[in-house]
Amino acid sequence: MNKYASGVLEKLQTRMPWEKEFLATVEEVFGSISTVLDRDSHYESYSLLENLVEPDRIINFRVPWRDDQGKIHVNLGYRVEFNNALGPYKGGLRFHASVNQSILKFLGFEQIFKNALTGLPIGGGKGGSDFNPRGKSETEIMSFCQSFMLELANYIGPSRDVPAGDIGVGSREIGYLFGTYKRITKLYDGALTGKGEGWGGSILRPEATGYGVTYFLEEILKKQDDSVKGKVVAASGFGNVTWGVVKKVNELGGKVVTLSGPDGFIHDKDGITGEKVEYMLKMRLSGNDRVEDYADKFGVPFYKGQKPWGIEGIDVAIPAATQNEVNVEDVKIMEKNGVQFVIEGANLPLELSAINYIQETKMIYAPGKAANAGGVSCSQFEMAQNSSGVHWTEAEVDKQLHHVMSFIHSQCYDTAIEYDQKDNYLLGGNIAGFKRVADAMLDQGMV
Ligand code: NDP
Ligand code: 2IT
Q: Which of 120, 209, 386, 405 to mutate to test the pocket of ligand 2 (most atoms within 8 A of CB)?
A: 209
Is the C-beta atom of 289 inside 6 A of ligand 1? yes
pLDDT greater than 90 at residue 285? no
Average pLDDT of the segment spanning 114-135: 97
- Residue ranges of alpha helices (H) inside 262-303 are 275-285, 292-298
Number of H helices, E strands in the chain: 17, 12
Average predicted confidence (pLDDT) for the chain:
96
Domain residue spans of the chain: 57-189, 206-366
Average pLDDT of the segment spanning 37-47: 94
Task: Please tell me the distance from the alpha carbon of residue 412 to that of residue 373, in angstroms, as a whole number.
Answer: 13
Task: Please tell me the distance from the alpha carbon of residue 356 to that of residue 425, in angstroms, as a whole number.
Answer: 13
Is the C-beta atom of 321 inside 6 A of ligand 1? yes
CATH number of the 57-189 domain: 3.40.50.10860
Q: Which of 126, 231, 276, 307 is catalytic?
A: 126
Instruction: With CA atoms as reference, report the closest residue to 43 among 10, 2, 87.
Output: 2
From the CA of 358, how far away is ligand 1's center (Å)? 22
Is the C-beta atom of 364 inside 6 A of ligand 2? no
Q: Do 163 and 125 form a contact (C-beta atoms < 8 A)? A: yes
From the CA of 124, how far away is ligand 2's center (Å)? 10
Q: Do 197 and 230 form a contact (C-beta atoms < 8 A)? A: no
pLDDT greater than 70 at residue 447? no
Per-residue model confidence as pLDDT tens digits over 228-269? 999 999 999 999 999 999 999 999 999 999 999 999 999 999
Task: Please tell me the distance from the alpha carbon of residue 186 to that of residue 345, in angstroms, as a whole number.
Answer: 36
Query: What Å distances lie between residue 41 and 9, 32, 51, 180, 255, CA to CA?
Result: 17, 16, 15, 48, 48
Q: Write the residue with the smallest CA distance to atom 10 of ligand 2.
A: 376
Is the C-beta atom of 209 inside 6 A of ligand 1? yes
pLDDT cut 90: percent of the chain above it: 96
Average pLDDT of the segment spanning 16-28: 95
Is the C-beta atom of 428 inside 6 A of ligand 2? no
Is the C-beta atom of 372 inside 6 A of ligand 1? yes
Sheet order of strands, 72-83 included = 57-66, 72-83, 124-129, 89-95, 161-164
Task: Please tell me the distance from the alpha carbon of residue 245 to that of residue 259, in angstroms, as a whole number.
Answer: 11
Full DSSP string of 337-397: TT--EEE--SSS-B-HHHHHHHTTSSSEEE-HHHHTTHHHHHHHHHHHHHHHT----HHHH
Any catalytic annotation for residue 399?
Answer: no
Backbone angles phi, psi at 268, to 5 degrees: -115, 95
Q: Write the residue with the smallest CA distance to atom 41 of ligand 1.
A: 166
Per-residue model confidence as pLDDT tens digits over 388-423? 999 999 999 999 999 999 999 999 999 999 999 999
According to DSSP, residue 169 is labeled: B
Backbone angles phi, psi at 233, to 5 degrees: -115, 135
Strand partners, 326: 350
From the CA of 269, how far away is ligand 2's center (Å)? 31
Per-residue model confidence as pLDDT tens digits over 104-113? 999 999 999 9
Task: Please tell me the distance from the alpha carbon of residue 293 to that of residue 129, in angstroms, as a whole number.
Answer: 28
pLDDT cut 70: percent of the chain above it: 100
From the CA of 164, how far away is ligand 2's center (Å)? 6
Residues 6+ apart with CB under 8 A from 41: none
Average pLDDT of the segment spanning 64-82: 98
Per-residue model confidence as pLDDT tens digits over 140-182? 999 999 999 999 999 999 999 999 999 999 999 999 999 999 9
Is the C-beta atom of 88 inside 6 A of ligand 2? no
User: For residue 191, what pLDDT band results from cuts at 50, 70 and 90?
Assistant: very high
From the CA of 399, how far away is ligand 1's center (Å)? 26
Strands (E), 34-123: 57-66, 72-83, 89-95
| Residue 62 C-beta-side C-alpha neighbours within 13 Å | 4
Using the Cα atoms of residue 215, residue 221, residue 225 and residue 227 in order, give the sign of their dihedral.
negative
Query: What Å distances lie between residue 296 and 17, 193, 256, CA to CA?
Result: 44, 35, 18
Q: Write the residue with the smallest CA distance to atom 7 of ligand 1.
A: 321
Strand partners, 380: none
The answer regarding whether domain 206-366 maps to CATH 3.30.565.10 reads no
From the CA of 191, the nearest ligand is 2
Three-state SS at 323? coil
Per-residue model confidence as pLDDT tens digits over 195-213? 999 999 999 999 999 999 9
Task: Specify the ligand 1 atom closest to the Cα of 347.
Answer: 32
Same topology between domain 57-189 and domain 206-366: yes
Helical (H) or strand (E) element with 125:
strand 124-129
Is the C-beta atom of 377 inside 6 A of ligand 1? no
Rounded to 5°, the CA angle 338-314-253 comes to 130
Strand partners, 92: 164
Task: Specify the ligand 2 atom closest to the Cα of 347.
Answer: 1
- Write down the pLDDT at residue 287: 73
Task: Specify the ligand 2 atom closest to the Cα of 205.
Answer: 10
| Widest pairwise Cα distance in the chain | 62
From the CA of 244, how far away is ligand 1's center (Å)? 12
Q: Write the residue with the smallest CA distance to atom 4 of ligand 1.
A: 239
Task: Specify the ligand 2 atom closest to the Cα of 94.
Answer: 5
From the CA of 127, the nearest ligand is 2
